[in-house]
Amino acid sequence: MNIRLLKLEDYTEVHQLWEHSDGIGMRSLDDSVQGIEKFLKRNPNTNFIAVAHQKIVGVILCGNDGRRGYIYHTAVDRSCRRQGIGKQLVSAVIDALKKEGINKVALVVFSTNQAGNEFWQSIGFNEREDLIYRNLTINEKND
């Protein structure tokens, strides 16, 4: 298995992995090929895939605002889980963020995503109970 930077050419296979993974909140504009292209241009060194037998079996998106890193859309193919792939992807992201001078990383997990919440807890990501997550949809076409 190999961990490497995500390229736009990987989009179709990555999108299929997301579609077949529970707990990924896909958005029509943000997760389109154009949306991912924009994200990769802004964050060229912090997005990774795991490849085994010429197949993408894991993916992690991560960007930063210069102060904090944000992880999105982490997924590992169901048939490849519990093999350390998710941990390796997170490790690659953390190393990349350190190189960019980022000292903290955050993420959002759906409360109903039991497997996801268990994974993040198991690798040291703490649940914050002192925050209320809020958002505002600016573009209604981004469903």
Task: Convert the pLDDT of each residue in 107-138 to its tens digit.
Answer: 999 999 999 999 999 999 999 999 888 888 88
Would residue 66 count as lying in a domain? yes
Would residue 116 count as lying in a domain? yes
CA angle 32, 107, 57 (to 5 degrees): 55
- Give the mean pLDDT of 20-44: 91
Which alpha helices (H) appear in the chain, and where do they start and end? Answer: 11-19, 33-42, 85-99, 114-122
CA angle 110, 122, 59 (to 5 degrees): 60
Provide the CATH number for the domain around residue 103. Answer: 3.40.630.30
Would residue 132 count as lying in a domain? no
Residue range of the domain that includes 31: 2-122
| Domains of the chain: total | 1
Would residue 139 count as lying in a domain? no
